[in-house]
Amino acid sequence: MEKIVYTRDSDGGVSVVVPALKADIERVLGPLTDEQYEQHVWERSVPENAITPTSIVDSAIPESREFRGAWVQNGEIIDIEMDIAIPIHMNRIREMIQKKFVDMGFPQRLNPQVEAAVVDEPTRIELQRLRDIPQTFDLLSATTPEELKALWPVGVDMHPIYLN
């Protein structure tokens, strides 16, 4: 049996149902025809408020789960919606910028006057460069998830989700 995909009514996200093996279900319910097995899976796995539940093949599901929150159902395939993936990616960049601040010894932003008094010029320039990245780093040129993942600011560690 193929997998089942549907859009959740609650949040618009996509759910993928991987059916239990027929033999495993038969251990509980007894012998089933293929039709009974499939009906059982659909009844038990797809909520009544599911939007456009559809059977799909494995190849219709993105291999990478890095942008799982940006999946949208498009008939019998799952697409990655770039308008959703881009903010997800930028939030990961922000997360790693914050980690860089902490690694540099600045877990909180300093008052500008205090920063000017206690931080040397090269460090102040680096802190400002990091602060500017979310406003200046262009992700809109990416048209695919692969292109998006390749866009990462210099001097900021890659997010762990991309290191698989």
101 and 120 part of one domain: yes
Q: E-assigned strands of 50-119?
A: 51-56, 71-74, 77-80
Give the per-residue pLDDT at 130.
Answer: 94
pLDDT given for residue 107 in this prediction: 85
Examine the domain organization and report whether 47 and 92 are in the same domain.
no
- Cα–Cα distance between 135 and 139 in angstroms, integer? 10
Q: What is the pLDDT of residue 13?
A: 94
| pLDDT tens-digit readout, 22-78 | 999 999 999 999 999 999 999 999 999 999 999 999 999 998 899 999 999 999 999
Measured in degrees and rounded to the nearest 5, phi and psi for residue 17 equal -100, 125
Domain that holds residue 104: 82-163
The answer on 136 and 92 residing in a single domain is yes
Residues 114, 71 share a domain: no
Mean pLDDT of all residues in 97-124: 88
Last residue of a domain, one of 80, 107, 139: 80
User: Of 118, 94, 116, 121, which Cα lies nearest the Cα of 105?
Assistant: 118
Q: Do 30 and 87 fall within a single domain? A: no
- Do 89 and 153 lie in a common domain? yes
What's the pLDDT at 108? 84
At 152, the amino acid letter reads: W
pLDDT tens string 6-18: 999 999 999 999 9
Same structural domain for residues 26 and 64?
yes
63 and 94 housed in the same domain: no
Indicate the residue among 14, 45, 80 that finishes a domain: 80
**Domain end residue (candidates: 80, 109, 131):** 80
**Residue 55, beta-bridge partner list:** 4
* For range 94-114, the mean pLDDT: 89
Mean pLDDT of all residues belonging to the chain: 94
The total number of structural domains in the chain stands at 2
Residues 58, 33 within the same domain: yes
Instruction: Looking at the structure, tell me whether residues 59 and 123 fall in a common domain.
Output: no
Q: Take residue 104 and report the two structure tokens written for it.
A: 């540099």
